Amino acid sequence: TLTASGNVRYNTQLQTTVLPAGAFPGVTESQVLAFGTRNSTLLTLDLTQPLLRPEAAIDRAIVRNTGALDAEKVRQRRTDVQVKIAEAYLNVLLKDLQRTLARADAARQRAYFEVADGQHRLGTLPEADYLTARLNDQNGQLTVRKTEQAYRAAQATFCYQLNIEPDTTLVLTDRLDPSSLATADLPAANPVAERPELRQLRLQREG
């Protein structure tokens, strides 16, 4: 650390006093004397160089600890984002499967209703059974519309998690196959001690 300062003064009028005669040997008459100087200049220069700072090691350790803690937080946020994307992806597959099943069920109910309608026209089907078949057909169509809306909403959520436009055309290659899920080799769960939350707690305790 280098610090410099300066102070320059100039006196336009000096303080005077009268020296009476005989005040000092050789002084035979009164004289007027001025005390002080016209110019006064003061310059200072300070140089500080620390040779030993014991707390530097602690400061470096704190910085390393803070950096490691921030890295763990970033890693946890990245994992959270990946989990949300995976959940949104699987939700789209689920809604697609539900939509397919609803369409198949609606087609079956429509076929039943057409048969029931023909029988009702011929007078071989009671009114109650005919109304039940018609209600089932209407419910099937309503379920198809609901599952279609749920599928569109799942797609919009997936696009949001991927940070892409909602109207982007998505082509999902996977399918929800129960047999493949049952035989899939799931990765071994990480030890509890390696959870990001616990690593952050350890770093905070060290800090």
Task: Encode pLDDT of 6-43 as tens digits.
Answer: 998 887 777 777 777 777 777 677 777 777 777 888 89
* Whole-angstrom distance, CA of residue 157 vs CA of residue 15: 89
Instruction: Quickly count: other Cβ atoms within 10 Å of residue 81's Cβ.
Output: 13
Positions in the chain short of pLDDT 70: 27, 175-193
Instruction: State the DSSP code for 193.
Output: G
Task: Specify whether the CB–CB gap between 112 and 138 falls below 8 A.
Answer: no
* Whole-angstrom distance, CA of residue 120 vs CA of residue 131: 10
Question: Which pLDDT does position 185 carry in this prediction?
Answer: 55
Question: Which pLDDT does position 94 carry in this prediction?
Answer: 93
Angle between helices 196-206 and 56-122 (to 10 degrees): 160
- The residue behind tokens 């102070």 is 7
pTM of the full predicted structure?
0.58
* Whole-angstrom distance, CA of residue 72 vs CA of residue 78: 10
Helices (H) and strands (E) in the chain, counts: 4, 4
Angle between helices 56-122 and 127-162 (to 10 degrees): 160
